[in-house]
Structure 1
Amino acid sequence: MSTQDATAAPRQTSRGEAVAKRIEDRIAEQNLPSGHRLGTKESLRREFDVAVATLNESIRLLLSRGTISVRPGVNGGIFVASPPALVRLGRKMLELSGDSVSVSDCLVVRDTLEPLIAHEAMRHRTAADIADMRRLAQAMASDGLDTAGYLAANWALHRRIAEITPNQILRHTYISLLEFVESRLKGVTPDEPARVNTDGPRVHRDLVEAIAGTDAARLTRVLDAHAALTVARGRTA
């Protein structure tokens, strides 16, 4: 991978997530029914003025969340899906007010699920998963990240790790908790350089390499270090 490609990848992922969010917002705001045709890949790519790879990332995210379905053929395209119950549960969590569900309560449950997510990722990861995780871990060490940027890179890595497990209940529960926390903290994090030094990126690189390996005891040790980092940094690691 060239230096240009390596530096472009995190930005592409961020744009893919942004486009996915805009499509989800459209579906919600217009109350589009299941089966409604959103367009073709090419028409959506032109509409949002993004690269093919960026739109593909958006589609991957939306498919994993059960938001859309893709149908081939002349009359095919991208359609609003009827999300499964687990996806609807995740969306319901995001609709709850801050008074009903606290961020700290969500983080307690998320932290409890973290070891299970990581060990599942070790068992099921592919070469492509490892490459993605390494890229996202590297993004956390990028120069000039402010606090919001660091947290976004952190959440992107943890979301990607969670996507590996074939256990749908575990995956959707964890990602729903993560998205709830992310939705509550976005816009309220200080716009200042992130004081991460080397601890945060180092621990997350160690986490990725442990998942990429086969030593369960090593992964447990890294998870202990990650838990300590989480406490030290106010439970956002």
Structure 2
Amino acid sequence: MHAELTRGGPVPTEPVTAGRAEQAADRIADLARTATPGTRLGTKAELRTLCGVSVSTFNEALRLLQARGLVSVRSGPGGGLFAAEQSPMVRLGNSVLALDAEQTSVAEAIRIRDALDPLLVEDALWYASPADFAEMRTILDEMSHAADAGDPTAFVHANWRLHARIAATSPHALLRSLYANLLDIIEGHTLSVLPDGDHPLAPYLHERHHLHADLVEAMARHDRDTALSLIHAHKTTAPDSARPHL
């Protein structure tokens, strides 16, 4: 039997299984989601003990948590696992979207997509044509209608089409292909978008629509500073406690 060494001597370990790692990840995820960003959740040893798993299984759980953008890890005195700041789209991938079994892949795709957005905005600033911007504004109208209707599913799908249309203006084939594949992963494994039963959704959808509309207009007038500021806000502006995580 494999054993891991501790100060108290060897203790048995269980084999790494997806189920055990997922259970441990879910337990820590519950702590992270209810904590203020930056809050220390505990040391690795403390959280592993809480979950009752081996080092190898805990490491796999930690990989899942980091892929979903739920925790950050700091070393040294006072280190450990901390609740991470999540962008609205990462929160969307972790909570509002009803996903199939590929939840981890979707969360990873959302994080990578967020990281690529500034590159595509830079390209759109200089390569998008008036016809490109006309098509983006048509999609923005769809987002506005979905917001008026309080329809998060229609809104999110229109949002993805807008991002895909922005990406299509890039002259870099590899970047366009990578981004399109990420969107395919996100959309292909999304079963539905869950409405929020406690708070009105339409005001937040309108807020997100306005942000995207401002982004498109900033790109259209080649206002690089404003466009990059808006795409940064797109990734980092979180909804307040009275709104769903969208």
Post-superposition offset of 1:138: 1.9
Cα deviation, 1:48-92, whole Å, max 9, x if unaligned, reads xxxxxxxxxxxxxxxxxxxxxxxxxxxxxxxxxxxxxxxxxxxxx
Looking at structure 1, the residues matched to 102 and 208 of structure 2 have their Cα atoms a distance apart, in angstroms, of: 30
Provide runs of 4+ in structure 1 moved above 2 Å.
97-101, 190-198, 231-234
Question: What is the correspondence of 1:92-107 to structure 2 with a 5 Å cutoff?
Answer: 98-99=101-102, 102-107=105-110
Aligned to 2:54: none
Aligned to 1:64: none
SS in 1 for 2:192: coil
Aligned to 1:148: 153
Aligned to 2:182: 177
Cα deviation, 1:85-137, whole Å, max 9, x if unaligned, reads xxxxxxxxxxxx95595211111111110000111111101010010111111
Counterpart of 1:131, as a letter, is A
Cα deviation, 1:121-164, whole Å, max 9, x if unaligned, reads 11101010010111111211112141111111111111111111
Contact 1:138 1:205 in 2 (8 A): no
Looking at structure 2, the residues matched to 99 and 154 of structure 1 have their Cα atoms a distance apart, in angstroms, of: 21
* Higher percent of residues as strand: 2
Post-superposition offset of 1:228: 2.4
Structure 2 CA distance for partners of 1:131 and 1:102, relative to 1, 3 Å: same
How many pairs does the alignment contain? 137
Find 1:130's aligned residue among 133, 141, 154: 133
- Structure 1: give runs of 5+ residues left out of the alignment: 1-96
Structure 2 CA distance for partners of 1:191 and 1:220, relative to 1, 3 Å: closer
Identical residues among aligned pairs (%): 31
Which of these two proteins has the greater Rg computed from alpha carbons? 2
Counterpart of 2:206, as a letter, is T
Q: Aligned-pair RMSD on alpha carbons?
A: 2.3
Aligned to 1:116: 119
Looking at structure 1, the residues matched to 206 and 155 of structure 2 have their Cα atoms a distance apart, in angstroms, of: 12
Structure 2 CA distance for partners of 1:100 and 1:152, relative to 1, 3 Å: closer
Cα deviation, 1:155-207, whole Å, max 9, x if unaligned, reads 1111111111110000010111011101111x232267854342111100011
Question: What is the correspondence of 1:223-234 to structure 2 with a 5 Å cutoff?
Answer: 223-229=231-237, 231-232=238-239, 234=245
1:217 aligns with 2:225: yes
SS in 1 for 2:140: helix
